Structure 1
Amino acid sequence: MGIRFSLAEIKLATNDFDDALVIGKGGFGKVYKGIIDFGGSIEVAIKRLYIKSNQGVAKFQAEIETISKFRHSHIVSLLGYCEEEMILVYEYMPNGSLEDHLHKKRANDSKSSALTWVQRVNICIGATRGLDYLHTGTGVQSRVIHRDVKSSNVLLDDNLAAKISDFGLSRTSPAYQLGTTDVYTDQIKGTFGYMDAEYFSTRRVTRKSDVYAFGGTACSKEFKYHEPANSC
């Protein structure tokens, strides 16, 4: 399940949660870039979930229980956690998220420049390989439905290889249930615009729901490649 870090170690890694080190934020908390002693000093991404969030508790537990089992080149690695607060420590993705590049959220960062067509195709291939690993149960005891596939949850390493992240809303089904990943849910969770109509009407989420969500990302106008205006 990864290394259990103390709160003191996390504070040291983030300069006591310095806002200057924030690299992402959402409804559940903030993500900091930090440096931690992990058999040597390495850069990490530290997600600090809001203490008062009831959903944050479930998200924290779900991420530890789910992602700690994964070993795949297109799934982000969980390195450890801290139980004194709800904190998760991940490998650091230097090129941010796919969303950063598509929407140019890192306009002052040269690494958020427009992606080439080849890079976009390779990102699609990598992300779908990660999803296939989740859906087929390869190497783990359960099949996993992500339930929140979108560009902000596709992270990019230093070679722009795609890695699926953020498993706080994921659901699992036993790997021995061949031919199905269907899971019935009491509440509909996810991001509007990425959820399929069948999920809304039946409350039954399947791997097709993840495929639909990623298809929405890949077919969006932001993802389509346009030649630079000054190209020949």
Structure 2
Amino acid sequence: MATRSAGTRVTRIAMWSGPRNVSTALMRSFGARADCAVVDEPLYAAYLAATTLDHPGRADVLASQPTHWSAAVTGLCQPLPAGRTLQYEKHMAHHLLPEVGRGWLGQVTNAYLIRDPAHVVASYAKVRGEPTLDDLGYPQQVEIFRRHGGPVLDSAALLRDPAGQLRTLCAELGIDFDDAMLSWPPGRRDTDGVWAPHWYAAVEQSTGFAPYRDVPASVPAHLAHLVVAAQPYYDELAAHRI
């Protein structure tokens, strides 16, 4: 949704992704735009506070962000830095717990980053042995999409053709494409969450989107049911992908 602040048109994009995707690289892409302010997982601390999950760097995350969703959402509505007219919010869909209010979702431009469930489950199983369907974020993505719509970006298509997919995504979002989105300098950003040392090693070394690798997913047998459960949600979103 576009709003006006002190006479300036501001677009706030909420990009909803599941885990084990290219969400941080996509945040780098938008962060490379001179007109864009990025926000890294603003609901993470509220999610950890509500679930009591023991994630790496938990104490630091809780100290770095509001621990109630309403305060986090209020922070997303603040004026942007001078010269910025675009706010890109990198959201993990599983952070949208049932108790999180939904009213604010109608005040942003929602978009969705999806990945084939077999690849997500195979990747997630390496860092967490027993993920659940809610951990993968597909039901939450579909919930938002059914209410608010918005462009759907498939990570495999993005890696195959970054320029083409980003051009189409920007058109769907109602913003101009910027060639700066295709590359960025390596390193950490001040806008990265305090959890970056635990999760962002690969993206900190990157200077652009990695080439697509067409490798079959190796799903552990005991998690095959999770792929089956997630597939209808993915298929519903994939039918609308750009």
The two structures have a TM-score, normalised by structure 1, of 0.26
- Between structures 1 and 2, the one with greater strand share: 1
Greater Rg over alpha carbons, structure:
1
- Between structures 1 and 2, the one with greater helix share: 2
The two structures have a TM-score, normalised by structure 2, of 0.25
